[in-house]
């Protein structure tokens, strides 16, 4: 799986060479205009992303991390406010809460999907709970209907951390609390009050640097985020709030506008490659289900929740002897990634929160067993066969 082979595959599949000229032209146009901050590309990209995500409003910001921070600022999270979220996620989710003086309240994960265990959320709600941040991990949505019900019941805000799932869909079924959008398909980030996207280069829709977006259902909340990203003011030299400087770069917006045209095709390609991995593991007799995987079936392929779609930003398997397999694959030219080997509740900087190892066993087990295999739209069948064969060879050597 050399870089030359990857480049060749990229030119043959989905036409990587096709969008590069478009990007060059878009960048040249920005350079010619000399408008580098909040120009026409940013406003156009905001409109296009809102349309793509089926969201009323979108506000471009400097990064996915800033999207989370600005969303929390917009709803007024401050000292002592509690925000319920997962310990099995990227650091920025909880860090944004702490930066504002809030308190992350962790809930364990569903061991099958890696997403928030929604049935455990209600027990963690207190009079200080301000918001819930479900993290849609690896490419599929958390189970949103129960969370939205709880939010309505207790008067909380729902902020979706959708950094990894742009384009993923979820069927919001009617539930006890009622919802005017129930019974309809929704895209990630547009179901809660606010949604946070990241366009970090490795994402399914990646920029050439940091970039992010906040989605909003309510106009007033959207305008609050819009003001907060420019030091707390919509008018120059007038500041109604103390905000930050977090604006989506015009050059990044220009690049992303070109790439957005290909995103649906890229998602379809990722899904096809995930299905091929599933088939290859089944044929190799390596894969078990969430109920029966073990020494005889050392790989558990990703579980797709029944009410949603999965874009496979990450194809994360659960495996036995994860660290040894990770090292073995690296020795044989297969790049894999270990996401979140140290869950947030045991991170040194969060020690004052009082959590201990053992508090969230599903998250801790996922941290020890999950491994992300190569996944990108240009991944060839030969490359996937090679990856699976190396995994087969590793486990054969262990018997």
For the stretch 45-84, pLDDT in tens is: 999 999 999 999 999 999 999 999 999 999 999 999 999 9
CA dihedral sign of residues 7, 8, 11, 12? negative
pLDDT of residue 198: 98
Residues of the chain with pLDDT below 50 are: 1-15, 177
Of 3.40.50.300, 3.40.630.40, 3.40.640.10, 3.40.50.720, the CATH number of 15-260 is: 3.40.640.10
Question: pTM for the full model?
Answer: 0.91
- Note the pLDDT tens digit of each residue in 282-336: 999 887 666 656 667 899 999 999 999 999 999 999 999 999 999 999 999 999 9
pLDDT of residue 292: 59
pLDDT of residue 4: 42
Each domain of the chain, given as residue ranges in start order, spans: 15-260, 263-398
- Note the pLDDT tens digit of each residue in 193-210: 999 999 999 999 999 999
Whole-angstrom CA distances from 376 to 6, 21, 268, 273 are 10, 21, 11, 8
- Distance CA(168)–CA(139), nearest Å, equals 7
Contact 163, 26 (CB under 8 A): no
Same fold, 15-260 and 263-398: no
Q: Which fold has domain 263-398?
A: 3.90.1150
């Amino acid at each position: 799986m050399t870089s030359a082979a990857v480049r060749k595959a990229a030119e043959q599949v989905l036409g990587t060479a096709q969008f590069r000229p478009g990007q060059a032209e878009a960048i040249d146009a920005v350079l010619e205009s000399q408008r580098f901050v909040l120009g026409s590309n940013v406003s156009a990209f905001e409109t296009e992303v809102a349309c793509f995500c089926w969201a009323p409003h979108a506000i471009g910001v400097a990064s996915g991390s800033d999207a989370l921070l600005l969303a929390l600022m917009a709803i007024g999270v401050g000292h002592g406010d509690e925000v319920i979220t997962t310990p099995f996620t990227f650091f920025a989710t909880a860090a944004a809460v702490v930066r504002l003086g809030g308190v992350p309240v962790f809930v364990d994960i569903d061991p099958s999907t890696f997403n928030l265990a929604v049935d455990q959320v209600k027990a963690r709600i207190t009079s200080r709970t301000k918001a819930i941040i479900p993290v849609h991990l690896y490419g599929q949505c958390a189970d949103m209907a129960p969370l939205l019900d709880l939010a309505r019941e207790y008067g909380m805000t729902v902020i979706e951390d959708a950094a990894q799932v742009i384009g993923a869909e979820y069927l919001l079924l009617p539930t006890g609390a009622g919802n005017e959008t129930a019974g309809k398909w929704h895209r990630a980030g547009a179901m809660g009050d606010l949604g946070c996207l990241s366009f970090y280069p490795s994402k399914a829709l990646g920029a050439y640097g940091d970039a992010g977006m906040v989605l909003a259902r309510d106009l007033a909340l959207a305008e609050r985020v819009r003001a907060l990203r420019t030091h707390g003011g919509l008018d120059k030299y007038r500041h109604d709030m103390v905000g930050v400087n977090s604006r989506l770069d015009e050059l990044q917006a220009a690049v992303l506008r070109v790439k957005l045209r290909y995103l649906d095709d890229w998602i379809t390609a990722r899904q096809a490659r995930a299905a091929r991995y599933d088939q290859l593991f089944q044929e190799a007799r390596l894969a078990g289900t969430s109920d029966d995987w073990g020494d005889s079936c050392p790989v558990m392929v990703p579980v797709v929740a029944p009410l949603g779609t999965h874009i496979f930003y990450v194809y994360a398997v659960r495996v036995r002897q994860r660290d040894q397999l990770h090292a073995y694959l690296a020795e044989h030219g297969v790049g894999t990634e270990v996401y979140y080997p140290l869950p947030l509740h045991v991170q040194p900087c969060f020690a004052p929160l009082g959590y201990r190892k053992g508090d969230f066993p599903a998250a801790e087990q996922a941290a020890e067993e999950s491994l992300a295999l190569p996944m990108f739209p240009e991944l060839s069948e030969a490359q996937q066969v090679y990856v699976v064969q190396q995994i087969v060879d590793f486990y054969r050597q262990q018997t």
